[in-house]
Structure 1
């Protein structure tokens, strides 16, 4: 029953106008609580010669991206879940590339099209991306001046989920992949519209990319994902160091992207489902190696995914128990201090998201340095 109810609710959200209404309500509530121009992270530009990649924080933890060839003033957007901040930018985008149909990645497409008449919106042919103007097939290449994107069909999270690979060779840098909800820093999206084996196969496509490939995910979930990675493998030094790094970044409200494919292969549990050390950490190494009941690669992936999710549930349970214990200790301490002030629950100040600020980019064009304003 629970599965049927989830499927019905998911279909209403993902494939009907009801989802758009829910998404618009989420945006309105976020803006009411934090302000129209609030963001969950500071604007952090990354410049590679004349290539700009700017993660744009939207909603609670989403990222849209501005990708620009600064020398030719060509601007492309990826995954516009909310267009509020983007409308303030001093750019004229040529296109929007959408990884998948979920509203937190596509909900701003309609406003973008009305704001910029003639704007092209691309999405995977199997995903029915809201307000798209062009469907793309697996392997299809899109060129915008020197910006060259290739669509990679990566089903599992949705039927038509598409990763966009950007060729970095003209800018003297590694390639980039804009992974939407397929691959996160330290984690991955849920298999909503396909079996685990299909999602695992899509992740294998990412693993096969050059290790220096930069990963730009659709969500800021590094802390949560890396906590789980360390919970599963407390002796994984790569995961521990990355968790400390991510904690310091998030304390300063700075984004944690990009990671690289090479990094992800060292600490992301969902990219290591065939790794003997991960299988041992999950407690299934002997089961996988049992000669009397040999398991296929798909079966190992499915079992590993199940165990990782089980560890996630266990970690959440332990964190809830720790919070409850701390609350009990706080109540006991207040009870031991007979003052009138202690009769009231202390109100902790609510952390506000950073406000959108002006942003200028300085880059080298030939022998000259050029400064341009991106956000007024």
Structure 2
């Protein structure tokens, strides 16, 4: 059975995602209950499970309301961060896939934004759910991890097939695009994408998900290893991780 994916705007700028296949429905992250319950009601779906990427409140605070409406809801999250997550019915370990309606779900360790952050890759759907690790034209702030951690995490995501659609956790893309242009103003792919993002937001359209191929062509945080980006910020001889750290530092003060 094919997997249907629904993008749900929540709170001010969060996204949650419903996956539906074989009569089962899963949710990635729970920023807010009401929009999720509305999306379920519109489709006549019952929520079976929630996959949590990390412990921050804007990704878990909707869980109590969802559990009230769906008492049999199963909550899945990283075993390594179970002490900071809501109570888990199933603890997950990176590298140990689990099943959703007959489809494999891979758990990817992506520390950096938090040290317990995980992402979910569903190969049959060409979809990855990266929350606040890899984001559209950006990456998450390093609240707990180091630049080395986040750079390694981004490399794990970058190793996925180029056609993978990256479902990230926030609508930050327009600001990320403006920043990216300060790093590579001559990148034609970035110039085009920035224009498309501006048009989409002006029309009230979401800019998430985005393809991994597009992120590789335009996202400065995925491009820190490339000669053209290093040259653009006068760090031609620097190690990839050092370039990433510099780009992250510039974004933090942008």
Fold-level similarity (TM above 0.5): yes
Q: Deviations over 1:100-147 (max 9, x none)?
A: 111111111222222211210011112232233221111222212233
Q: Which residue of 1 aligns with 2:17?
A: 65
Kindly indicate whether the alpha-carbon contact (under 8 Å) linking 1:181 and 1:217 is maintained by their aligned counterparts in 2: yes
Q: Which residue of 2 aligns with 1:306?
A: 246
Q: Which residue of 2 aligns with 1:367?
A: none
Question: Could you list the runs of 4 or more consecutive aligned residues of structure 1 that deviate by over 4 angstroms after TM superposition?
Answer: none
Q: Which segment drifts farther, 245-254 or 84-93?
A: 84-93
Cα distance in 2, alignment partners of residues 281 and 312 from structure 1: 19
Q: Secondary structure at the match of 1:216?
A: strand
Q: CA deviation at 1:195?
A: 1.3
Cα distance in 2, alignment partners of residues 155 and 308 from structure 1: 15
Q: Secondary structure at the match of 1:160?
A: coil
Cα distance in 2, alignment partners of residues 311 and 175 from structure 1: 29
* Correspondent of 2:108 among 152, 156, 171: 152
Q: Which residue of 1 aligns with 2:8?
A: 56
Cα distance in 1, alignment partners of residues 95 and 168 from structure 2: 20
Distance 1:167 1:304, change over 3 A: closer
Cα distance in 1, alignment partners of residues 248 and 232 from structure 2: 10
Q: CA deviation at 1:304?
A: 3.5
Q: Which residue of 2 aligns with 1:121?
A: 75
Q: Which runs of 5+ in 1 are unaligned?
A: 1-48, 169-173, 289-296, 317-376
Q: Which residue of 2 aligns with 1:163?
A: 119
* Correspondent of 1:84 among 22, 27, 34: 34
Q: Which runs of 5+ in 2 are unaligned?
A: none
Matched ranges for 1:1-376 at <5 A: 50-69=2-21, 72-88=22-38, 89-90=40-41, 91-128=45-82, 129-168=85-124, 175-285=126-236, 287-288=237-238, 297=239, 300-310=240-250, 313=253, 316=254
Kindly indicate whether the alpha-carbon contact (under 8 Å) linking 1:99 and 1:163 is maintained by their aligned counterparts in 2: yes
Cα distance in 2, alignment partners of residues 118 and 312 from structure 1: 41
Q: Deviations over 1:246-295 (max 9, x none)?
A: 1111111111122111111111111111111111111222x52xxxxxxx
Q: CA deviation at 1:307?
A: 4.1
Q: CA deviation at 1:311?
A: 6.0
Larger C-alpha radius of gyration, 1 or 2?
A: 1
Cα distance in 1, alignment partners of residues 79 and 251 from structure 2: 35
Q: Secondary structure at the match of 1:84?
A: helix
Q: CA deviation at 1:233?
A: 1.0
Kindly indicate whether the alpha-carbon contact (under 8 Å) linking 1:55 and 1:64 is maintained by their aligned counterparts in 2: yes
TM-score of the pair, normalised by structure 2: 0.92
Kindly indicate whether the alpha-carbon contact (under 8 Å) linking 1:185 and 1:259 is maintained by their aligned counterparts in 2: yes
